[in-house]
Amino acid sequence: MANEARDYLLRQFDTAWALTWYHLEGVTTEECLWRPAQVGLHVRQDPDGRWRAEWPEHEGYDLGPPSIAWVTWHIGFWWSMVLDHSFGEGKLTREEVPWPGTADGVREWIGQLQAQWRARLEQLTEDDVRSVQRTRWPFPDRPFGDVIAWANVELTKNASELGYARFLYAVRAR
């Protein structure tokens, strides 16, 4: 019972990850690059070959639905940021996080982030979960357990976005 809060959060994370992986497992690059509407957040390839994600100036519904590529980039973005800012140097910026360019690349990237995150969480003590020492992004000065809970919710939200977009893709030509 020494790490009760951490263990609850880990079990919740495992559920969020299972939902996410379900939608990532069979996704194709074609699906990723498909746009569900004429407007919506997406990725673009720069002349140098790097894939960059668009960044919204607001979060209104008039932005339109994001592409699967953008949602997968967003997962990689926030997970990379929270890992770097909680367990690394804390210097990573959004502009330094490219989209991998393929569905296989997405699965590899996000799978690596999941493994890194889970390994870090498994090492935490109950005091670490209550401490603010690691809480620098996305919000400072709150118990690190709040960051873990936020990441679980964010991953679950992104899983639902992936699933919904895949449903739309599957029936697009009917």
Phi and psi of 51, rounded to 5°? -95, 125
Give the C-alpha separation, 101 to 51, whole Å.
Answer: 6
Tell me: the pLDDT tens digits for 87-131? 999 999 999 999 999 999 999 999 999 999 999 999 999 999 999
In 3D space, the residue among 156, 5, 8, 12 whose CA is nearest the CA of residue 75 turns out to be: 156
Mean pLDDT of 26-31: 97
Mean pLDDT of 144-149: 98
Tell me: the pLDDT tens digits for 32-65? 999 999 999 999 999 999 999 999 999 999 999 9
Residue 1: pLDDT above 90?
no
Q: How many helices (H) and strands (E) does the chain have?
A: 6, 2
User: Would the CA dihedral through 152, 10, 104, 167 be positive or negative?
Assistant: negative
Residue 3 confidence (pLDDT): 85
35, 42 contact by CB (below 8 A): yes
Given pLDDT bands bounded at 50, 70 and 90, which one contains residue 166? very high
Give the C-alpha separation, 42 to 65, whole Å.
Answer: 9
Where are the chain's structural domains?
4-170
Tell me: the pLDDT tens digits for 57-96? 999 999 999 999 999 999 999 999 999 999 999 999 999 9
Report angle CA 102, 106, 112 to the nearest 5 degrees: 145
Cα 170 to its chain centre, rounded Å, is: 23
If one looks up domain 4-170 in CATH, what number appears?
Answer: 1.20.120
Give the C-alpha separation, 147 to 169, whole Å.
Answer: 32
Residue 173 confidence (pLDDT): 72
